[in-house]
Structure 1
Amino acid sequence: MTSRIILITGANSGVGLAATKVIVGASEKYHVIMAGRSREKLQSAMSEVQQGNTRGTVSILLLDVTDEKSIDEAAKQVQEQHGRVDVLVNNAALGNVEPNVKSRFTSSLITNVVGPAMVAEAFRPLLLTSESPYSIFVSSGMGSLTMAAEPGAITYMPNENAYRACKAALNMIAIKEWQDFKSKGLKVFAFCPGFVVSNLRGTSEEARTGGGQAGDPAVSGQSLLDIIEGKRDAEDGKFVHKDGVYPW
C-alpha cells in the first residue's frame, strides 16, 4: 500500500501531537512526519505516539519555522526521503501576550505569519507532486474579522491583539493560496481547532488547560483527519471548524 505522507509542524505537543496520534491510529496508509525545532522533544513525542494505538508510521524532522535555512533544508530532506508531501499541516504557532507592543507583534508575526508562509512556499512543489494534495493552515476563530467586529465579541486573553491579527493574516494567506493553486488540484483550508489543551498559552498546567476549561485536542485531531480523508472537500477554500464554517 502506498503511504500518504503528512507533514505537521509543531507536532511535539498540543494539537500537532494529538493529530499525529489520531492519524496514525486511523490507518496503516498514513505516514506522519512530525516537524519541530527540538530533536529531544520530537523524539519524546514520537515515542509517546508509538506507544499508543498505532497503525501508521511516524518519523521526525527538524524544522524551525522562523529560520529560512532550516525550512529549506527540511524540504530538501523530505524530497530526498519521500519525493512528495500529500498533506501539509501548518500548525506551529506562538501565543505571545507580553505587554511590550513591538516585541509582542514582532515575535508573533514571525512565527505565526511569516513562518507558515515560508513553509507553504518551500513545500508547495512537493505538495503539487501529490495526486491529492491538501494544505491546511491551523488558524483560530479569534482571527475572524467578522466575528471580532460583532457586538459583544469576547476577549479571551490580555494583549490578544497580536495573536488575533496574526490569525487574520494567516487566513488571508490561506485564501490566496487557494485562489492561486486550486487549478492545480491543491485543496486549501484554514482550520480552527477550538479551545483545547495546548502549550500555546504557556507551559504551566493552568495555562495549558485554560484554567481547566480547555477541551481535548484529540477532537481537533479527528477534525483534521476528516479534512485529510476528504470528508470536508465541499468546504475547500473555507475557514472550517469541527462543526461547520466560520466567516472570514
Structure 2
Amino acid sequence: MPTILITGANSGIGYATALKLSTQPNNHTILACRSPQKAQETLLSLTKTSKGTLSTLPLDVDDDASISAAVNIVSSQFGKLDILINNAGITAHTATGRERLQRTFCTNVFGSMLVAEAFTPLLLRSECARLIQVSSALGSMGLASDEDSMYYGSCWSEYRMSKAAVNMMVLELGKRLEGRVRVFAFCPGLVRSRLRGEGEEHVSAGGLAGDPGDSARGILDIVLGKRDGEESCFLHGEGVYPW
C-alpha cells in the first residue's frame, strides 16, 4: 500500500488532493496540517467517502522541530514514504514590506525545501518514490517575460518570486535524486482557495477561480505514474510550462 503525505492538507489544493487520493482503495494518505484540530476535521470529512486509509500528522513547515518530529513519526509508523506532495504555501497578503517577503519565503521556499530534505531518507526507502512540489505558473520566468502571456502583467510579486525559487528547488532536487526519486513541479492553476484571503471575493478570485478538484486529478496522474516521462519538469494539467 503506497504511503502518501500531503502538507497543508486541510484546505484548497491540499484538501482536494487528499479527497481525490482517498478514493483510491490501495492508498494510505497522511494528512499533514499545522493545526491538529483542522487535521482531525479533515480526517472526519474524508472518512465518509474514503476507500483507502487515512491518518493525520502535525506538521508546521515553518518549524524545524515540527518537521523533525513529523519525520520520526512517519518513520516509526510506516518505515518509508512513497509520495511526498509538498503543497503548503502562503501569500502573506496581510503583511507588507520586509515582513511580507520573509513570511512568504519562509513558508513557500525554506519550509518546502527543508521538508523535502527531511523526508528524502524515507523516500529513498521506497521503490516508487515521487516528490511533487506544488508550484504556480506565476513563478515561471519564461511566462513572466513573455508579453503575450496572460501571466506577464500579474501582480503578487513576492509570491511569484517565491515560486520561481521553488522551481529552481525542483530542478536541483531532480538532479540530486536522479534515478532514485522522481521529482516534479506542478501548477494547479487558479482555483478556489483561501490563499488570497478569507472572503468569497478572494476565495473565488472575483469569480475566476476554478474547482481545485480538477487540479487534484492532475496530481493524481503524477501519483499513479502516468507522467513519469516528464519528471524534473514543470507540469500543469495539459502539458509542461517553461521554467
- Give the TM-score range, shorter chain: over 0.9
In the alignment, the residues of structure 1 paired with residue 95 and residue 157 of structure 2 have an alpha-carbon distance, to the nearest angstrom, of 11
Aligned structure 1 segments of 4 or more residues deviating by more than 3 angstroms: 152-157
Aligned match for 2:70, one of 58, 67, 74: 74
Aligned twin of 2:163: 167
Change (3 A) 1:37 1:99: closer
For 2:185, the aligned partner's letter is A
Aligned twin of 1:39: 36
Gaps of 5+ in 2: none
The Cα of 1:98 is off from its aligned counterpart by 4.5
Aligned partners of 2:143 and 2:152 also within 8 Å: no
Aligned match for 1:131, one of 127, 133, 158: 127
Change (3 A) 1:214 1:233: same
Gaps of 5+ in 1: none
Aligned twin of 1:201: 196
For 1:247, the aligned partner's letter is P
What is the TM-score when the length of structure 1 is the normalising length? Answer: 0.94
Aligned match for 2:51, one of 45, 50, 55: 55
In the alignment, the residues of structure 2 paired with residue 14 and residue 151 of structure 1 have an alpha-carbon distance, to the nearest angstrom, of 30
In the alignment, the residues of structure 2 paired with residue 179 and residue 241 of structure 1 have an alpha-carbon distance, to the nearest angstrom, of 21
**Structure 2 matches for 1:82-101, cutoff 5 A?**
82-98=78-94, 100-101=96-97
In the alignment, the residues of structure 2 paired with residue 62 and residue 99 of structure 1 have an alpha-carbon distance, to the nearest angstrom, of 25
What is the percent sequence identity of the aligned residues?
43
Aligned partners of 2:146 and 2:152 also within 8 Å: no
Aligned partners of 2:144 and 2:153 also within 8 Å: no
In the alignment, the residues of structure 1 paired with residue 162 and residue 102 of structure 2 have an alpha-carbon distance, to the nearest angstrom, of 10
More displaced stretch, 210-219 vs 116-125: 210-219
Q: Structure 1 residue 181 and structure 2 residue 167: aligned?
A: no
For 2:195, the aligned partner's letter is L
SS class of match (1:84): coil
User: How many correspondences in the alignment?
Assistant: 241
In the alignment, the residues of structure 2 paired with residue 150 and residue 217 of structure 1 have an alpha-carbon distance, to the nearest angstrom, of 26
Aligned twin of 1:65: 61
In the alignment, the residues of structure 1 paired with residue 94 and residue 59 of structure 2 have an alpha-carbon distance, to the nearest angstrom, of 25
| Deviation string, structure 1 residues 99-142 (Cα, Å, up to 9, x no partner) | 62201110000000000001001100000000000001000000
What is the TM-score when the length of structure 2 is the normalising length? Answer: 0.96
